[in-house]
Structure 1
Amino acid sequence: MRRTGIASLPLHPGKAPPWLFKRMKRLSSLIVKAIVLEYGRKEFLRRISDPIWFQAMGCALGYDWHSSGLTTVLTGALREALSEEDLGIAVLGGKGRVSRKVPEEIAKLTSKYELSQQKIEALIRASRLSAKVDNAVLQDGYSLYHHAFFVTEEGYWAVVQQGMNPKIRLARRYHWLGENVSSFINEPHSGLISERVEEIVFDLTARSSNPAREVSVDLVNEGPNRLRRMFREATRGPLSKYLEEKPLPKYVEFPRKLNWEALRKAYEMSVSDFQELVEIRGFGPGTI
């Protein structure tokens, strides 16, 4: 992923002033309408999937450039604005508990946009996988708390989601563009924006992580019993701690708990690739 810029997104409490949100909603409606009429709905998704363009739009609407709230407030303004316009674009989800309702909201699009059941299921899968990938396959210290799913009446989609790191009080935003996603687990992002580069990141979405993804599938197919033995041996640690040597760095420490039920299910399914593993319920950050 090429570097296009950075944004400072410190975590700020509170809500946007009602008078500002009202103006952001009205102006965002006009901006989206101009883009859709001039360039089409797909072009709007392409722009919203560019982290710098998204940041610039939030600033153009009058929101504080130096705040994590730009993401949540801008998507909230777009959600309300587009629900009142007939532009063939819907914004689903949002912050906190609202983000978990995206599958239900997508299902309701069947009648509104006349999308087939197959397309609806594909959109629900895209929403779930994009969220799971940025929470479990990419582990960078930022936990997702915001998930916005943009979808057009033709079934094209984009995702804007944000994670927070409470320890350093910073946020990080992740962007996806459906038309460019050929794989959910191999370089799927259209962009990522954050103030800092973390030193220790567990990133199985990187192209260079393909060998690790393949080995993960091989390990699961060894079976739960063999995995338990291997896990016990690995968690005992090396003999270096008895020899007064330096301890292993934190990033190679093993988790103390695994979801053995998910591993058993994966073994019984005879998964053939890493994406199948990720889609199994229970395969969270620790198990991955």
Structure 2
Amino acid sequence: LKEAVNELNCGVAIAGGKGKASMRTLAEIDELADDAGLNLSTHRVEKLKYASRMAAKVDNSLVQDNYQLYHHSFIVSKHAWAVVQQGMNSQNSYARRYHWISDAVRSFVDEPHAAICCDAKGQQVLDMTAHSSEESRKTSLDIVNDNPSHIEGYLKISARPEQTSLYDFVNGDFPSQEPAILSLCKNHRLRLSKRSMNALKQAYEVQPESYEELTSLKGIGAGSIRALALISELVYGTEASWNDPAKFSFAHGGKDGIPYPVDKKRMDDNTALLKDAVRNARLGNKERLDALRRLALTTL
């Protein structure tokens, strides 16, 4: 598809692809500047490269759903762009697809996706792109700009049996109880690598003005984002979203018979329903028009 579209010179081009091809996305966007059908300025090319980098960074680091990206396709026209990415979960062998459309992206870090599709939903998915994570994003930025060196102290958990805790001072005046225990799934470890810590210290030197700028910095990855979100919640009380943003796909079945064969009758019935809704909307039927708008907001 990529080769066929690019040979047409039709005003639409595709960069990137699967595996190693995805690593050439930025270079291929540079090459698109010479495409006569697109006529891209240098400034436009740089913005497209930024969009490609951020889409990959966000889906690998801000949406921590345990799906590793292996496919990144960047579709470009003169005035718009779109991203289709796919990740694989090695534990359950499911794939997950991430869709971005430039017209719908108001922020790269606040509800930027047109859709995230998967047949499996995770129980604990850190989603820093959720609008409900806004306060956590603000606190994370404040932690970095205030000097992240104290993060190491927050994350250190003493294993020494002689370590005194507040519970050692509980006497008869207080009810005896076990301390509360924070339990995270194994995909969200508290350990912060030396590399991630150094990246946070370098970010402090930059003093990013926004969470998007922080995310875009080299070295800031899933570990850094997770540590900041954890401290934001435990120390400052600003909670991030742990709801999986994926929606179920394959409403009409899959071409390979998974999760079930394509139901052609259901597909035809739903297509007819949508066509009827569009016709009535054009005729000014307000109820049908409102229903169509709701449908557009809830379907993929």
Class of the TM-score when normalised by the shorter of the 2 chains:
0.5 to 0.7
Asked if 1:282 is matched to 2:219, the reply is yes
Q: Structure 1 residues 263-272 or 157-166, which shifts more? A: 263-272
1:235 to 1:116, Cα distance in 2 relative to 1, 3 A: farther
Instruction: Provide TM-score, normalisation by structure 2.
Output: 0.64
Asked if 1:197 is matched to 2:134, the reply is no
Distance, in Å, in 2 between the alignment partners of 1:193 and 1:285 is 21
For 1:250, the aligned partner's letter is: L
Choose the corresponding residue for 1:255, options 177, 191, 201: 191
Structure 1 gaps, min length 5: 1-77
Choose the corresponding residue for 2:31, options 108, 115, 122: 108
Greater CA radius of gyration, 1 or 2?
2
Deviation at 1:229, TM superposition (A): 2.6
1:196 to 1:223, Cα distance in 2 relative to 1, 3 A: same
- Aligned residue for 1:131? 56
Aligned structure 1 segments of 4 or more residues deviating by more than 6 angstroms:
234-240, 242-246
1:86 to 1:253, Cα distance in 2 relative to 1, 3 A: closer
Deviation at 1:253, TM superposition (A): 4.5
Asked if 1:97 is matched to 2:20, the reply is yes
- Identity percentage of aligned residues: 39
For 2:128, the aligned partner's letter is: L
- Aligned residue for 1:59? none
Q: Within 5 Å, which residues of 2 pair with 1:166-181?
A: 166-181=90-105
Q: Contact between 2:84 and 2:100, CA under 8 Å: does it hold in 1?
A: yes
Deviation at 1:263, TM superposition (A): 1.0
Secondary structure of the 1:287 match is helix
Deviation at 1:189, TM superposition (A): 0.3
CA deviation vs aligned residue, 1:4-33 (integer Å, no higher than 9, x gap): xxxxxxxxxxxxxxxxxxxxxxxxxxxxxx
Secondary structure of the 2:58 match is helix
Distance, in Å, in 1 between the alignment partners of 2:17 and 2:47 is 20
Distance, in Å, in 2 between the alignment partners of 1:149 and 1:109 is 11
Larger helix proportion of the pair = 1
Asked if 1:184 is matched to 2:184, the reply is no
For 1:137, the aligned partner's letter is: L
1:253 to 1:205, Cα distance in 2 relative to 1, 3 A: same
- Aligned residue for 1:67? none
Distance, in Å, in 2 between the alignment partners of 1:239 and 1:199 is 32
Deviation at 1:158, TM superposition (A): 0.1
Deviation at 1:239, TM superposition (A): 6.3
For 1:126, the aligned partner's letter is: A
Structure 2 gaps, min length 5: 169-176, 226-300
CA deviation vs aligned residue, 1:219-270 (integer Å, no higher than 9, x gap): 1112133333333369999969x99778532247412425122112211111
Deviation at 1:126, TM superposition (A): 0.1
- Aligned residue for 1:86? 9
